[in-house]
Structure 1
């Protein structure tokens, strides 16, 4: 009986220590960086997630556990059913795709916006299904995923791929969306590598961007540096993933392309990116990064933007964020949200591990939509 009481006492002490540590070292309100404008102040005040403490899931707040949970859920949950999937032929003969949700009973005259989503480095319309599902359920807005060439089930009709995506392809996709819905506002979401494509487009387009506002989740900023900083274990896994996903799946297309054999022998994600120019239509590494690296044009972004990073991200590491704060926190109408925990694009919260980032995205878009609606109605 005595030993039983001691065991219970020790267990209670350990639980208390764990909870105290969790409250002190894990739970924290996000750090916000922004220029204090009327727009930024109003959006922040109307976006509750930005003002409250973030409670990472208590049983998996470790970044590796959180990332494992994300991958496990992606592999085990049912595919999201889209209303329509289009294959688009690009000007050079390549093929991209658009996966639509919410267009079955669309009213072209109402003001319901369209959310355009950019998927991950080796993903497609399914790897961002939780974000698409959340937007559809909470906002009931139209969602369309821009699927990059060589991804998912798309046929590779020309032996050219870019893991970060191509802004020329994206512009064709956006023009196709705009032709179908000429009067609807466009909002953008970039997830991981998709945030790089989004930022590259926003920077290149400047004030001519078609987006009313956008969100970048777990961006890497300078991809020439960032991919060499990925946690060594993930870098090796992702390097092999690139080989399997792009080269082996489309080997017939790339078999006679110069540089393919070098890519088949890489060991890390950084090596793969450095040699990707050979199958991306660029003459060398410098030319590839000059035309693909979002950091080179990011300071030209004029579109209102919410950027989300976690300090414990093992893929897009915190050093990438810290190196770019000098321009990021001085970009007008941009809000940078920096959390202590969240891992890479996971950002789970609560005991049931719901996506905190998805809820934040929904709140932010709703706040921005109300802002512009109010401004337009007052004119």
Structure 2
């Protein structure tokens, strides 16, 4: 029987080979703070490594909400295999298929030897997806991704499908595969900068400091508030008992979570929402090969939230820790390039072979 350890040792030199398994930060991006700020500011950068064009498909959920699937393939449609390997990707809060790191990952996998077909699952209200339901997505809401996986599986019944999640998208992906357990139809999953414990990550992202006050919170809140404004024509359920003025006046993510996610999800309070939405509760139940990549100097999803003990007891999961990667940075070389692309390509390609 081939174990996850065997796969990593044989097929993933970027993660295990002593001569290769390291990341040297870009000289002028030597700290997690600099890595995170630089990555956030270049989130819309388009260059040779990230120049992709998607084809969009809309999916309507059972409650009437809509998500969008952005597809990308390096092969011409008429030359595509009937059962290509498929990589399903998900961005973090406020993010979408437009993020630089998603486009880089998409292009790398599509042009790899395995020639993955890519589909980015855009959360409700992101990437100009029509807003057709007042129910928003949240950090633990797995229903939409579950529906997307079912749809892609039905469209490509013979294809091997892998999941790749970033930040909040990583939490949703991890929670999903844990919920599914032995029923999970994904061949494997990769989580980058996963906030396994939302209590820890929420305290970090809502702390008042330079990074949060002037970079992260404004970036996330501007995206979410635009979506809320676009949803103003929808009738909200009176049973939710929402204070719409408080929603419209929110300036930090925790305020929106307390007024929207807590009430709509039927949680007692913010702590209850964080506890029930945190993916660390589901890690023990993961039965597909799972790779998590986190940074020790990530100020958004600090390493204190990583369930280290669970990675020692569940043989299906592995953790790669990088000293200086920041949050969704992992930038190395000059000009900066994203380090985690190669190890992820090695891992998912090995699993689907």
| Range into which the TM-score falls when normalised by the shorter chain | 0.7 to 0.9
Following superposition, the deviation at residue 89 of structure 1 comes to 0.8
Q: Pairwise mapping of residues 1-379 of structure 1 onto structure 2 (< 5 A)?
A: 38-50=3-15, 51=17, 52=20, 53-77=22-46, 80-102=51-73, 104-105=77-78, 107-110=80-83, 112-127=84-99, 128-139=102-113, 140-164=115-139, 166-230=141-205, 232-233=208-209, 234-236=211-213, 237-251=215-229, 253-254=231-232, 257=236, 258-277=242-261, 280-282=264-266, 284-285=268-269, 288-289=273-274, 291-321=276-306, 324-370=307-353
Following superposition, the deviation at residue 40 of structure 1 comes to 1.1
Give CA deviations for 1:19-50 in whole Å, capped at 9, x if unaligned.
Answer: xxxxxxxxxxxxxxxxxx73313323321111
SS for the counterpart of 1:75 is coil
Aligned equivalents of 1:303, 1:38: Cα separation in 2: 11
Aligned equivalents of 2:279, 2:202: Cα separation in 1: 13
Q: Is the 8 A contact 1:166 1:197 kept in 2?
A: yes
Aligned equivalents of 2:150, 2:216: Cα separation in 1: 32
Cα distance change on mapping 1:284 and 1:226 into 2, 3 Å: same
Aligned equivalents of 2:230, 2:57: Cα separation in 1: 24
Matched length:
332
Following superposition, the deviation at residue 280 of structure 1 comes to 4.1
Q: Is the 8 A contact 1:228 1:269 kept in 2?
A: no
Q: Larger Cα Rg: Structure 1 or Structure 2?
A: 1
Following superposition, the deviation at residue 242 of structure 1 comes to 4.3
Q: Is the 8 A contact 1:239 1:272 kept in 2?
A: no
Q: Is the 8 A contact 1:43 1:368 kept in 2?
A: no
TM-score w.r.t. the length of structure 1 is 0.80
Aligned equivalents of 1:138, 1:248: Cα separation in 2: 36
Q: Is the 8 A contact 1:118 1:190 kept in 2?
A: yes
Q: Is the 8 A contact 2:217 2:253 kept in 1?
A: yes
CA RMSD of aligned residues (A): 2.5
Q: Is the 8 A contact 1:121 1:193 kept in 2?
A: yes
Give CA deviations for 1:210-269 in whole Å, capped at 9, x if unaligned.
Answer: 111111000111113321123533444544444432234432635875133333444433
Aligned equivalents of 2:350, 2:230: Cα separation in 1: 48
Q: Is the 8 A contact 1:213 1:304 kept in 2?
A: yes
Cα distance change on mapping 1:232 and 1:267 into 2, 3 Å: same
Q: Residue 13 of structure 1 corresponds to which residue in structure 2?
A: none
Cα distance change on mapping 1:170 and 1:249 into 2, 3 Å: closer
TM-score w.r.t. the length of structure 2 is 0.85
Cα distance change on mapping 1:243 and 1:346 into 2, 3 Å: closer
Aligned equivalents of 1:268, 1:176: Cα separation in 2: 35
Q: Which runs of 5+ in 1 are unaligned?
A: 1-36, 371-379
Cα distance change on mapping 1:296 and 1:275 into 2, 3 Å: farther
